[in-house]
Structure 1
Amino acid sequence: MDIVNFFETLAGKWFSQRTIHNLASQSSQAGESNLLIEFLPATDADLTNACAPLGHDSSPIACGLRIHQDSQLDGESTKVQSTALMVVMAPNEAGEGVLVQAAGSAPALQGSYRVDNDVLTIVTPTASGQLEERLWFANPNLRMRTSVLKAGDAVQMASFCSEIRMGMAKAAS
């Protein structure tokens, strides 16, 4: 599956359950999210605008996603609502490419992606290390997602999400 097809399959309304393990403090926390994921074609102006601060032009953009998230962690009284963009640059011959992530007023982050055996892997450098996320489908309406935050070679945090498609997102206009 190519990257554009993979990202098209991510579109929809999703219910997500996750467990986060903080290895430094030996604590765990569960949470739930409602996600609305919109597939964006390469020509969407928001994708170009998200890439501009990192010096990317629009010619290598393959596609993108707009992700609206409404989340709450167990034990927390407030919900977190956010919107983010993911911009996928066309892959190289090895099937790897650049992925730009932009959320609100935070600086855009640049990472890399690859798809192997229908599993998307995203690696994003952070201020404290590196975040590696893997996403795959158990069936068209059930996907799994794991993430690991590393500082050097030490794993600081790990999470697992199971996500159920609740419906399709409206097509981007």
Structure 2
Amino acid sequence: MDIVNFFETLAGKWFSQRTTHDLAGQSSQAGKSNLLIEFLPATDGDLAQACAPLGHDPSQIACGLRIHQDSQIDGQTQKIQSTALMVIFPPTEAETGVLVQAASSSPALQGNYRLENEILTIVTPTEAGQVEERLWFVNPNLRMRTSVLKSGNTVQIASFCSEIRMGLVSPPS
């Protein structure tokens, strides 16, 4: 499976259950989210706009995603809603490539991805350290996602999500 096909399989409506562990604070939190993920073709104008601050050539975009998230953390009354874009560039070698993540509330972040044995691994440097995320499918309608926030070689926060597809999204017209 190539990277564009993998990202096409991510499109749809998903229900996500998440457990997050703050290893330094020795606490855990559970939460749930409704995700609406839209596959975007390389020619989508929003993808080019998201990459502009980082100086990427829009003609090199492979595809992208628009992710709408509506989350609720257990024990909190306020929901968290956000929309983000992921812009994927073709792999340069051995299925490794550049990925840009852009949300309206924060500056765009550039990371790298690797697709190996149908497991997507994304590594993104942040102000707090580095986020490493892995995503894979158990079957077409069930996927798993793990992430860790590292500061140096020390894992600060770890999370696990199980996500169930609730429906498909129509392709963009």
Q: In which range does the TM-score fall when normalised by the shorter chain?
A: over 0.9
Identical amino acids, percent of aligned pairs:
77
- Give the equivalent residue in structure 2 for 1:99: 99
Report the alpha carbon displacement of residue 105 of structure 1 after superposing the two structures with TM. 3.5
Report the alpha carbon displacement of residue 84 of structure 1 after superposing the two structures with TM. 0.2
- Give the equivalent residue in structure 1 for 2:78: 78
SS of the residue corresponding to residue 114 of structure 1 reads strand
Report the alpha carbon displacement of residue 122 of structure 1 after superposing the two structures with TM. 0.2
Q: What stretches of structure 1 of length at least 5 have no aligned partner?
A: none
Report the alpha carbon displacement of residue 93 of structure 1 after superposing the two structures with TM. 2.5
SS of the residue corresponding to residue 62 of structure 2 reads strand
Q: TM-score normalised to the size of structure 1? A: 0.99
Question: How many Å separate the matches in 1 of 2:147 and 2:44?
Answer: 28
Q: Deviations over 1:108-146 (max 9, x none)?
A: 000000100000000000001100000000000000000
Which is further off, 86-95 or 133-142? 86-95
- Give the equivalent residue in structure 1 for 2:155: 155
- Give the equivalent residue in structure 1 for 2:2: 2
- Give the equivalent residue in structure 2 for 1:88: 88
Question: How many Å separate the matches in 2 of 1:81 and 1:168?
Answer: 20
Number of equivalences = 173
- Give the equivalent residue in structure 1 for 2:135: 135
- Give the equivalent residue in structure 2 for 1:44: 44
Q: Deviations over 1:64-95 (max 9, x none)?
A: 00000000100011000000000001111211
Question: How many Å separate the matches in 2 of 1:148 and 1:172?
Answer: 33
- Give the equivalent residue in structure 1 for 2:166: 166
Q: Give the alignment of 1:104-115 within 5 angstroms.
A: 104-115=104-115
**Structure 1 stretches of 4+ moved >4 Å:** none
SS of the residue corresponding to residue 105 of structure 2 reads coil
SS of the residue corresponding to residue 106 of structure 2 reads coil
Report the alpha carbon displacement of residue 6 of structure 1 after superposing the two structures with TM. 0.2
Let me know the Cα RMSD of the aligned residues: 0.6
- Give the equivalent residue in structure 1 for 2:55: 55
1:31 pairs with 2:13: no
Q: What stretches of structure 2 of length at least 5 have no aligned partner?
A: none
Question: How many Å separate the matches in 2 of 1:52 and 1:28?
Answer: 37
- Give the equivalent residue in structure 2 for 1:116: 116
SS of the residue corresponding to residue 131 of structure 2 reads strand
Question: How many Å separate the matches in 2 of 1:153 and 1:93?
Answer: 26
Q: Deviations over 1:4-57 (max 9, x none)?
A: 000000000000000000001100000000000000000000000000000011
